[in-house]
Amino acid sequence: SSPLLDDDKLLSVSAPAAFANRLGKVPRWTRKPSGQADDRRVSYEHMLVRYGKLSDCEFMVECAYTTLIFIACIYKSHSDFVHFTEFMPMIKEGKHIHCCCDTRERKVHFIKMNQQFNLDGFLEYGKYLFGLVFTISCPLWERYIGRHAALLVTVLTGVFCSTLLIFSLPTDVLQLVHLMLNLCSAFTMLISMVNISEMLPYHHRFLTVAIYMFATILDDAIAVINLTISISVLSPLLDISSEPF
């Protein structure tokens, strides 16, 4: 008997498959959905990802994750700018590149700032060790804790560590706070980008990389303007000259 008339056998997935069968071609067959696993495969979210358009996605949710990526990149941009400025050679006329004499006061100030961002000793290896453990244990915490709960804890930890930077802390404690901020910003960017990628249809998932690149470029520009103007305005309080870099 024809498989289209027998419920116990394979059923055609669509009318075009039955039409192809009449033309003598071999159609593709699938079994009847049985159980929750097959129901999830044809859920609304699954169909939206496969066949939906960009206008069908939740715009406000994507904007929320984009904002989290933008906020997470702010710390990275400021630390990268301080690190780059500290290592950037200040060449004056008649001086060679490794000349340490007549160093500008602003560069000396950035060297002191970079000591807060740079990690030494155990903290330097702790960052990589914690990232490795976090990556390996990803299937465990994502299944039992949940991605949204982990993102909420990461954001709250980053806000708390940012508040601690207001106070005058010892160097070791300050480096630990910067380590936590570094990890929180990285995990926030990672989880937000994964969530955006899963929300977008297949043909638009490249927008996740575009959002990340736009956020990093914009944050780098903000970091340069912010630190340059801040040092110029606060130079009398910091007891440094207002000369440019």
- What is the pLDDT, as a whole number, of residue 88? 63
Q: Name the domain count of the chain.
A: 1
Q: Is position 19 within any domain?
A: no
Q: Is position 55 within any domain?
A: no
- What is the residue range of 196's domain? 60-90+103-238
Q: Is position 50 within any domain?
A: no
Q: Is position 182 within any domain?
A: yes
Nearest by Cα to 10 from 26, 29, 38, 24: 29
Q: Is position 37 within any domain?
A: no
Long-range CB contacts for residues 83-92, cutoff 8 Å, separation at least 24: 83/114, 83/117, 83/118, 85/110, 85/114, 85/227, 85/245, 86/110, 86/111, 86/113, 86/114, 88/245, 90/245
- State how far the Cα of 87 lies from the Cα of 84, in Å rounded to an integer: 5
Matching residue, tokens 């290592």:
87
- State how far the Cα of 151 lies from the Cα of 154, in Å rounded to an integer: 5
Residue 195 has pLDDT above 80, yes or no: yes
Token pair listed for 190: 């990672």
Whether the CB-CB separation of 182 and 79 falls below 8 Å is answered with yes
Measured CA angle at 230 (ends 71, 79), to 5 deg:
45
Cα dihedral 195, 196, 200, 206 sign = negative
Q: Is position 185 within any domain?
A: yes
Measured CA angle at 200 (ends 199, 204), to 5 deg:
165
Summarize pLDDT for 141-189 with one digit per residue, the tens.
777 788 888 889 889 999 998 888 888 777 778 878 888 888 888 888 8
Q: What is the pTM of this model?
A: 0.62
CA dihedral angle for residue 177, residue 182, residue 185, residue 186, rounded to 10 degrees: -150
Q: At what angle do helices 105-117 and 59-87 cross, to 10 degrees?
A: 130
Alpha carbon separation from 227 to 90, 115, 184 (Å, rounded)? 18, 16, 22
Token pair listed for 184: 């929180």
- State how far the Cα of 117 lies from the Cα of 175, in Å rounded to an integer: 6
Q: Is position 159 within any domain?
A: yes
Cα dihedral 144, 150, 156, 160 sign = positive
**Kind of pairing between the strands at 29-30 and 11-12:** antiparallel
Summarize pLDDT for 6-38 with one digit per residue, the tens.
444 444 444 445 544 554 544 444 445 445 555
Q: Is position 225 within any domain?
A: yes
Matching residue, tokens 């630190």:
227
Q: How confident is the model at residue 119 (pLDDT cuts 50, 70, 90)?
A: low
